């Protein structure tokens, strides 16, 4: 009784509906789109015909070719799905975008895993794209979007002309954390950074690596620390995950003779990892080691401690990006060059229980 695969009768078209209703295609179109004046009686007739034919409404393909709009908003993530969504900050941002965009009838196209995203932008229909957690490495993706005349909004991205930017005060916020540590009396501070390049190579934080970095967010946060501790060193993690934080923590704490008294991690997940590493080294937090994070996404127990961190308005950023997209699409009516402007958000300091004055040095 499976009625699929038998006759393969194609779905009815608007033309079929119009014919059955005894009106022209254009009138039927108007009846559905709501635009333009249509007599109530006519509209009713069209509706009836549609119901009889089990017509599902105008085919999105025809509509998108004709109108130039598909209702699809691409969202580019750097990593594959599994990795990208390990960090709740990305989920929050995505949710924020969806909040603004889906009530307007737009759907989100997930472009995860860099390699593919450039290709997808080239071959998949979309009205605009949002770059999440982006680095200059997506230059190729940006290029493709440009050529297709697809407007771009970047969250935390490089400020390229023509790309609308939604950002936060990474540097200042991190500096605030660093100052907090300085005020507590810390002098020997290390950091754990987000990946600096596409390879996501782990390793010590060297001048060369910073010079070669392609990740703006990480760079800014490094600068923030050094605004307060100019000589601060650290290690580079391969991603914003707890286990990466553990690895980094061990790297930092391995040598009892050269342990920092505080660690600035560039994300809460990394901070959680550092704390665990500290515990594994027999250190107590915050008595023996202070740890601060970044993001402020409280998700169940991913971050067990009450972490001292900078709270980032992730959902707000997503929403701002969503709004920007809508503005870019709905309102090219900005006749006077009043193109939508970028938005900058501010993080707020949260003093948790993972920071304290350093132990008296022996």
Partner DNA sequence: CTGTTAGCGCATTCAT
Partner DNA sequence: ATGAATGCGCTAACAG
Where does this chain bind DNA (CB under 7 A)? Answer: 10, 13-15, 22-27, 29-30, 32-33, 35-39, 41-43, 57-59, 61-63, 65-67
By a kind-dependent CB cut-off of 5 to 8 A, residue 125 interacts, out of DNA, a second copy, none, with: a second copy
User: Burial of 1 by CB count in 10 Å (0-12 exposed, 13-18 middle, 19+ buried)?
Assistant: exposed
Q: Of these partners, DNA, a second copy, none, which one is at the site of residue 92 (CB under 5 to 8 Å by kind)?
A: a second copy
- Give the one entry of DNA, a second copy, none that residue 299 binds, where binding means its C-beta sits below a cut-off of 5 to 8 angstroms depending on kind: a second copy
Q: Which is nearer to a second copy, 68 or 230 (CB)?
A: 68
Across 54-64, b (16+ Cβ under 10 Å) vs e yields ebeebeeeebb
Query: CB of 193 within 8 A of CB of 235?
Result: yes
Residue whose C-alpha is closest to residue 325's, from 120, 127, 134: 127
CB 148 → a second copy: shortest distance, Å? 5
Question: Distance between CA 149 and CA 202 in Å, rounded?
Answer: 37
Looking at beta carbons only, is 32 or 294 nearer to DNA? 32
- Beta carbon nearer to DNA, 26 or 206: 26
Decide which of DNA, a second copy, none touches 26; Cβ closer than 5 to 8 Å per partner kind: DNA
- Whether the Cβ atoms of residue 132 and residue 94 lie closer than 8 Å to each other: yes
The two structure tokens encoding residue 26: 């254009």
8-state DSSP, 295: B
Q: Which does 214 bind (CB under 5 to 8 A by kind): DNA, a second copy, none?
A: none
Provide the minimum distance between the beta carbon of 87 and a second copy in the complex, in angstroms, as a whole number.
10
Q: In angstroms, give the least distance from the CB of 242 to DNA.
A: 45
Which is nearer to a second copy, 205 or 274 (by Cβ)? 274
Which CB, 175 or 248, lies closer to a second copy?
248
- SS3 (DSSP) at 114: helix
Q: Between β-strands 128-132 and 72-76, what pairing exists: parallel, antiparallel or unpaired?
A: parallel
Residue 25 touches which of DNA, a second copy, none (CB < 5 to 8 A by kind)?
A: DNA
Q: Of 106, 3, 107, whose CA–CA distance to 54 is shortest? A: 3
Q: Which is nearer to a second copy, 109 or 235 (CB)?
A: 109
């Amino acid at each position: 009784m499976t009625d699929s695969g038998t006759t393969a009768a194609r779905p009815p078209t608007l033309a079929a509906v119009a014919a059955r209703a005894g009106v022209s295609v254009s009138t039927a179109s108007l009846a559905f789109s709501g635009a333009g004046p249509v007599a109530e009686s006519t509209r009713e007739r069209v509706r009836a015909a549609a119901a009889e034919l089990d017509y599902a409404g105008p085919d999105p393909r025809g509509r998108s070719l004709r109108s130039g709009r598909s209702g699809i908003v691409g969202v580019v993530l750097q990593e594959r799905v599994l990795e990208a969504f390990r960090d709740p900050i990305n989920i929050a941002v995505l949710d924020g975008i969806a909040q603004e965009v889906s009530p307007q009838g737009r759907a989100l196209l997930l472009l995860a895993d860099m390699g593919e995203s450039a290709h997808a932008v080239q071959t998949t229909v979309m009205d605009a794209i949002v770059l999440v957690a982006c680095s200059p490495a997506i230059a190729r993706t940006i290029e493709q979007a440009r050529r297709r005349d697809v407007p771009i909004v970047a969250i935390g991205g490089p400020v390229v002309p023509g790309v609308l930017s939604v950002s936060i005060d990474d540097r200042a916020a991190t500096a605030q954390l660093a100052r907090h540590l300085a005020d507590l009396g810390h002098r020997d501070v290390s950091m754990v950074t987000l990946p600096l390049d596409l390879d996501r190579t782990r390793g010590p934080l060297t001048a060369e690596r910073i010079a070669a970095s392609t990740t703006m967010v990480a760079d800014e946060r490094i600068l923030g620390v050094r605004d307060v501790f100019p000589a601060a060193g650290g290690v580079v993690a391969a991603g914003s995950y707890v286990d990466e934080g553990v690895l980094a923590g061990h790297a930092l704490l391995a040598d009892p003779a050269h342990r920092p008294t505080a660690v600035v991690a560039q994300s809460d997940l990394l901070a959680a990892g550092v704390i665990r590493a500290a515990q594994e080294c027999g250190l107590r937090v915050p008595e023996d080691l202070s740890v601060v994070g970044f993001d402020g996404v409280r998700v169940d127990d991913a971050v067990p401690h009450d972490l001292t961190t900078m709270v980032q308005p992730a959902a707000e950023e997503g929403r701002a990006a969503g709004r920007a997209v809508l503005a870019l699409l709905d309102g090219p009516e900005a006749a006077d060059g009043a193109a939508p402007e970028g938005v900058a958000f501010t993080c707020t300091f949260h003093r948790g229980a993972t920071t304290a004055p350093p132990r008296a040095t022996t």
